[in-house]
Structure 1
């Protein structure tokens, strides 16, 4: 666990960030995936006892993999759990913007999750909508 906790501080960006040669693409992507796997494992281990730290790690993961909808859903769940309700809408907006770069939109499940978290966090709003 101690080694995993050092991953976010040690990984400072893409391997050979200034190098554009084809040969580095494989190692670069392999390292990025290793870092994402390490973050995922660490998040799963600490999410209950250190939710603020898990939220920060989820943000790191989002920056490494900006098109991964599962990360955004986990972010929204953790934000709701921590009472960061306004951030849920911002996270959904970030996802929508990222996916628009690819000509895609968030999945219906993601939109339903955001709405459910919003309603759960503001029951008065959900009653007024009905």
Structure 2
């Protein structure tokens, strides 16, 4: 078959592109559970929320996790394929992956604080909000 126009080439490439995505396997709950275990998502998520924040919400750490876990797993399932989750699981089994999995929660928390501080310093919101969020405003 000889392609005679750019539109035919684009249609062919588009079809190949769509074929690849339409056959991507959704991430399985088992693979997501394994990744959550390896990355200690539960522990890291619970540690991000300060006790006074949980108290304000009337929750303990387990209640908080129970409400957040399905939403986080849904995000992973919506955004990652089974192949990607398996690749992440393989990577995090390596020494480099294990080191990175230990460092990422701290980096994520520090990133969150930098973003919040930047937002707050560029707004009219008082430092009281910093204290409520448990972020040092200095």
TM-score normalised per structure 1: 0.23
Question: Which protein is bigger by CA-based radius of gyration?
Answer: 2
* TM-score, scaled relative to structure 2: 0.22
Higher relative contact order (CA 8 A, sep 6+): 2
